[in-house]
Amino acid sequence: MKVSTVLLSIACLVAQVAASHHGIPNHQVVRTHVRRNATSIDVPSTQGLNFTIDGEADYFAGTNSYWIGYLTNNADVDLVLDHLQESGLRILRVWGFSDVNSKPTDGKVYFQLLQNGTATINTGSDGLQRLDYVVAAAEKRGIKLIINFVNNWSDYGGINAYTTAFGGTSTSWYTTPVIQNVYRKYIKAIISRYSQSSAIFAWELANEPRCSGCNTSVIYNWAASTSAYIKSLDSQHMVAIGDEGFGLNVGSDGSYPYTYAEGLDFEKNLEIDTIDFGTFHLYPSTWGVANSFGNGWITAHAKACVAAHKPCLMEEYGVETTKCTVEGQWQQTALETKGIGADLFWQYGDKLSTGNSPDDHYTIYYGTDDYKCLITDHVAEA
């Protein structure tokens, strides 16, 4: 999700389109051998079309909190993770990046300074030590984390922060050697810091990578080489792309999300050996389609994942109104569709020491009626 969500204009939508997710319920699994070798920390893995946590294959529910790694009060982190554990949410996706082009003077947490052709990773108390606390706190509660390395959007720096410091554009970012070297150094720093933690579920290349107007080979080649690099650093943990699931032939209704306009080919990218599972997001209102689009989007991706013999993660999904009605139906479809192994709603909300956590109108706050129907009831059914 782009934090500062902006609706696509009709003109932009038309231009992008022109440029050119019924089976056995996933939670009814047969517990056989796990695909990966077991280790002393019982690394999460895949088993057929399902995920495993602590050696058990099942359907898992989780959520997103882009902001938790930027909290400066440990008690706030503990509160959030206590509530997630109490709720039965097993997977939490967090942002493992915070890139800036000038050093903040207000105590703002940042992880990497990209300035004048140089990169400096901040391991201080206003840097990666904040993410350290999240990882350690998740370990204590048995919550598994998905950590990504860069943002497609300018929120918390992202690709734009790299091109500001080193030149280039959002599309050339994927193929510019100096930028990719800096990006890989950051990946290495994060993986070397947390690869031995029992809290890690998977590494993720980016948040919603796009290469608008590019040949799909650009992101394919980047994803293949980057995921292979990650596996060379940590062969035990799973790796995913973190994309929205764009570019899909199976089940296509011809609408914008199914096209290849953003430089993605979901089915082709699933073929990459060093990508362990598929990810897709679901935001009808920002894509110019109706909420009824969602069920077909879910089953289409599930079919692609079944064909690739890899599970799908419905990694982000949300609507701004009538959440229980709309998102509840999507959750039911995901639960009943072979190929979907887990879902993570966007996004979790709680009352912190500073007030409510960020609300982008998709937020579902702990203890609310929406939380009961979409989290408490969903976890019980899963």
46, 47, 49: which is closest to 24 by C-alpha?
Answer: 49
Inter-residue contact 216 to 259 (CB < 8 Å): no
Nearest C-alpha neighbor of 31 from the set 57, 68, 51: 57
Catalytic site residue from 204, 316, 327, 336:
316
Query: What is the value of pTM for the model shown?
Result: 0.91
316 carries an active-site annotation: yes
Q: Which pLDDT belongs to residue 34?
A: 36
Query: In this predicted structure, what is the pLDDT of residue 21?
Result: 32
Catalytically annotated residue among 204, 208, 315, 336: 208
CB 163 within 8 A of CB 170: yes
In the numeric block, the tokens 């022109």 are attached to 18
Cα four-point dihedral sign 305, 274, 148, 243? negative
Q: Compute the distance between CA of residue 40 and CA of residue 195 in angstroms, rounded to an integer.
A: 13
Place of tokens 């290849």: 260
CA-based torsion, 275, 281, 287, 292: positive or negative: positive
Residue 104, H or E segment: none
| pLDDT for residue 4 | 57
Residue 144 CB-half CA count within 13 A: 24
Residue 351 burial by CB count (10 A; 0-12/13-18/19+): exposed, middle or buried?
A: middle
Please state whether beta strands 351-352 and 99-100 pair in parallel, antiparallel, or not at all (unpaired). unpaired
CA distance 264 to 214: 9
Residue 83: the pLDDT is: 99
CB count within 10 Å of CB 333 equals: 21
Q: How far apart are CA 237 and CA 240, in angstroms?
A: 10
Helix residue spans in the chain (DSSP H): 10-18, 74-87, 128-141, 158-166, 177-194, 217-233, 266-270, 284-287, 293-308, 323-336, 369-371, 377-381
User: What is the per-residue pLDDT for 125?
Assistant: 97
User: Per residue in 274-310, is it b (16+ CB within 10 Å) or e — as a string?
Assistant: bbbbbbbbbbbbebbbebebbbbbbbbbbbbbbebeb
Nearest Cα residue to 21 out of 257, 200, 224: 257
pLDDT value of position 41: 64
The verdict on whether 381 is a catalytic residue reads no
State the burial class of residue 52 (Cβ atoms within 10 Å of its Cβ: 0-12, 13-18, 19+): buried
Give the Cα separation of 10 and 88 in Å (integer): 40
Say what the pLDDT of residue 51 is: 99
Rounded Cα gap, residues 21 and 295, in angstroms: 7
In angstroms and rounded to an integer, the radius of gyration of the C-alpha atoms of the chain is 19
Taking the CA of residue 285 as centre, how many other CA atoms within 13 Å lie in the half-sphere pointing to its CB?
A: 15
Kindly report, residue by residue over 166-208, the tens digit of the pLDDT: 999 999 999 999 999 999 999 999 999 999 999 999 999 999 9
Nearest-5° angle of CA 199, CA 202, CA 205? 135
pLDDT of residue 184: 99
Q: What tokens were used for 284? A: 């009808």
Low-confidence ranges of the chain (pLDDT < 70): 4-41
